[in-house]
Amino acid sequence: MPERHIVVLTGAGISAESGIRTFRDSGGLWEDHDIREVASPEGWQRNPELVHRFYNARREQLHHVSPNPAHFALAQLEQAFRVTIITQNVDDLHERAGSRQVIHLHGELRKARSTGDPRLIYPWNGPLDVRDVCEKGFPLRPHIIWFGESVPLMKEAEEHVRQADVLLVIGTALGVYPAAGLLLFCPRKASVFYVDPHPAEWPGPTRNRLSVLKEKASTGVTRLVRHWMATGDFGRPPED
């Protein structure tokens, strides 16, 4: 039998149990911060110091958090299946858990990018400062896709979703496009799973094939992965 291709779309919810705040839950990041000021090109023009402070704090937090059982379970899935992770998260917890194919739709906290030449991207672990420049002398910015900016990895992500045998969506409110629009490219034959304690409305034609596990990622994802590894059965989700 050909190898199954499992495509996983993750959002902030998968990292919540590692201690990283989500965006739109109560207590979420966007309650304390104005998106327009810290996550838009206009905000960056107005006040780059503020933008740096915001992302420096997020980057610093990465030193104090670790992957949780959901991240590890997804990495383990690669022992038996072909797995592509498409994440909206800018943390590196999938990689630290051992996942090898991770597409970061919204960028990566641990990278900095030239404002003059977007091809110049550097690993970055400490704070970024307005005086930091690329090798061509342009100021550096966080390697994050802000609201209103295009998402360069969308096409690649779309191709993976189009070829999915199984689509697993974890911990996302499905409120931000174009990322949420990826679900529309899922083939009708695919098995579709959504793990989230407060699942959002599911868009598109695969709704009638959807299994929702209304629970936290650490338990829901671990249970699904254990079941799939043991049985190779992507039909109904396992009972509790």
Among the listed ranges 155-163, 184-192, 195-203, 204-212, the one in contact with ligand APR (CB under 6 A) is 195-203
- In angstroms, rounded to a whole number, what is the distance separating the alpha carbons of residues 2 and 11? 29
Among the listed ranges 5-13, 54-62, 111-119, 132-140, the one in contact with ligand APR (CB under 6 A) is 5-13
Among the listed ranges 10-18, 96-104, 118-126, 225-233, the one in contact with ligand APR (CB under 6 A) is 10-18
235 three-class SS: coil
Burial (0-12, 13-18, 19+ Cβ within 10 Å), 189: exposed
24 binds ligand APR (CB under 6 A): yes
Q: Which of residues 64-103 bind ligand APR (CB under 6 A)?
A: 88
- In angstroms, rounded to a whole number, what is the distance separating the alpha carbons of residues 65 and 196? 21
DSSP states of 49-69: HHHHHHHHHHHHHGGG----H
- In angstroms, rounded to a whole number, what is the distance separating the alpha carbons of residues 100 and 84? 8
Cis check for the bond before 178: say yes or no (omega within 30 of 0): yes
The residue number with the shortest CB distance to ligand APR is 13
Give me the active site residues, please.
106
Q: Which of 92, 95, 108, 196 binds ligand APR (CB under 6 A)?
A: 196
Q: At what angle do helices 69-77 and 217-231 cross, to 10 degrees?
A: 20
Q: In sequence order, what are the residues at sequence separation of 6 or more whose Cβ sits closer than 8 angstroms to the Cβ of residue 2?
A: none
- In angstroms, rounded to a whole number, what is the distance separating the alpha carbons of residues 209 and 8? 16
23 binds ligand APR (CB under 6 A): yes
Q: In sequence order, what are the residues at sequence separation of 6 or more whose Cβ sits closer than 8 angstroms to the Cβ of residue 239?
A: none
13 binds ligand APR (CB under 6 A): yes
Site string for ligand APR, 96-135 (x = CB under 6 A): ----------x-----------------------------
Nearer to ligand APR, 138 or 158 (CB): 158
Among the listed ranges 72-80, 94-102, 168-176, 231-239, the one in contact with ligand APR (CB under 6 A) is 168-176
User: What's the closest the beta carbon of residue 71 comes to ligand APR, in angstroms?
Assistant: 11
141 binds ligand APR (CB under 6 A): no
Site string for ligand APR, 207-236 (x = CB under 6 A): ---------xx-------------------
CA distances from 60 to 63, 64, 91, 117 (A): 6, 8, 11, 26
Chain positions contacting ligand APR, by CB under 6 A:
11-13, 16-17, 22-25, 28, 88, 106, 171-173, 175-176, 196-198, 200, 216-217
